[in-house]
Amino acid sequence: MPPAERRDSHGVLPLVTGPAVPLGRAQGASYNACMRLAHLPVAFRRFIRIGLLLLHLVLGVTLAGLLFPLIGTARRDRLIMGWARRLLRVLGVQVRLSTPPALPGGALLVCNHVSWLDIYLIFAAQRVHFVSKAEVRAWPVAGWLARKTGTLFIERGRRADTARINAEMRSLMQGGAWVAVFPEGTTSDGRGLRRFLPSLLQPAVELNCPIVPAALRYRTLAGEYNPMPAYIDEISMWQSLKNIVGEPGIIAELQFGEPIQPNGRRRELAAQAEAACTRLLGVAPARTSPDAYFPQRARPSDAASADTAPKIPADPPA
C-alpha cells in the first residue's frame, strides 16, 4: 500500500497502477488532441465530444451488426476492447491500467462501482461479461449493444432469477471467460466502499474459480479526486454525460489485485473480496463504518436489500 503521506486532499490513497498500458501512435495523437480540447470553453468541448461520440456509436453498431456474425470469438473480443478504449478517448478520459492477472481459465471479477464509465474502463483492460439489470436490454442502442457484447441480464425483483444467472455465469467461467459483477449493488461517489453482497459469488464457489478484486478511481488532470463521473442520486444519463464531456479531461485508474481462491462459503468470500478492494483503494473498511464515506445518498432504485436478492446498478453496460 502506498505510504500515508501520499494521500490526496480528500484523504484517500492513489492507486499503484503497475505496468502502464503503452501508448501507440494513434493513442498518442488522440492524447494530444484531448489536451488541446482541454483549453477550449466548456460548451465547445461538449459539442465536439458529443459529436464524436455519435460517430463512434455508429461505428459500434456497424461492427456489432455486420462484422461480429462473420468473425471468431477472439477477434470479436479484441474489437470490443479496442472500441471501449476509443470511446474513453472520445470522451476525454485518459486511462491508467494495471495488468490483469494471467489465469489459465475463467474468473469472476469484482470491483467498486462509480459510473457507467466503469464498464468501458474494465473493457479497456480485460474482456469480461457483465451482469446487468434486465431493463437495460430494452434500451435503444445501449441495450442492443449490451446483448451483442455478451451481457447477462437479471430480473432484480425476482430472487428465483438468481439461479438462472448463476447457471449462465458458471457456463461462461467453465469455458474460460471472465464474468464481472459490482457486488456493492449500487454506484457511489468513488471515495469509499460499500458492503459486498455475496449472492452473485456463488458460481465461483461452486466451480472453485478464482475471484479477481479490482479498484477504480477517477481524477482530474491535476491528480485530484474528480466527482464528475459519479452516477449517483437523481442524476440523469444525459446530465452525467454532459458532466463528463464538459471536463477538461478525466484520468481513470484501474488496478487489479491478486486472485482469491474460494473457501467454500460465499459470505466469507465476499468479505475477503471486499477487504482486497478496500486495500487497493486505500480506504477504511465498509464493515467498520458503513456510511462514513458516502455523504451522498444512493439512487432510490438501488436501495439496500437482502444478500440473497442481488442488486444490479442502473447504468448501461453496452
* CA nearest neighbour of 274 among 177, 223, 178, 201: 201
Q: Could you tell me if 302 and 186 are in contact, meaning their C-beta atoms sit under 8 angstroms apart?
A: yes
Q: Could you tell me if 190 and 132 are in contact, meaning their C-beta atoms sit under 8 angstroms apart?
A: no
Q: How many CA atoms lie within 13 A of 11 on its CB side?
A: 6
At residue 236, the 3 state secondary structure works out as: coil
Residue-wise pLDDT for 22-78, tens only, equals 444 444 455 555 567 888 889 999 999 999 999 999 999 999 999 999 999 999 999
* CA nearest neighbour of 113 among 227, 230, 228: 230
* pTM reported for the whole predicted model: 0.80
Residue-wise pLDDT for 249-296, tens only, equals 999 999 999 999 988 788 999 999 999 999 999 887 665 443 433 334
Cα 101 to Cα 111: distance, rounded to the nearest angstrom: 14
Q: Could you tell me if 173 and 108 are in contact, meaning their C-beta atoms sit under 8 angstroms apart?
A: yes
Q: Is the pLDDT of residue 174 over 70?
A: yes
Which domains are seen in the chain, by residue range? 11-294 (3.40.1130)
Residue-wise pLDDT for 216-251, tens only, equals 999 999 999 999 999 988 899 899 999 999 999 999
Residue 132's pLDDT band (boundaries 50, 70, 90)? confident
Q: Rounded to a whole number, what is the distance in angstroms from the first to the last CA of the chain?
A: 33
Residue 211: its H or E element? strand 211-219
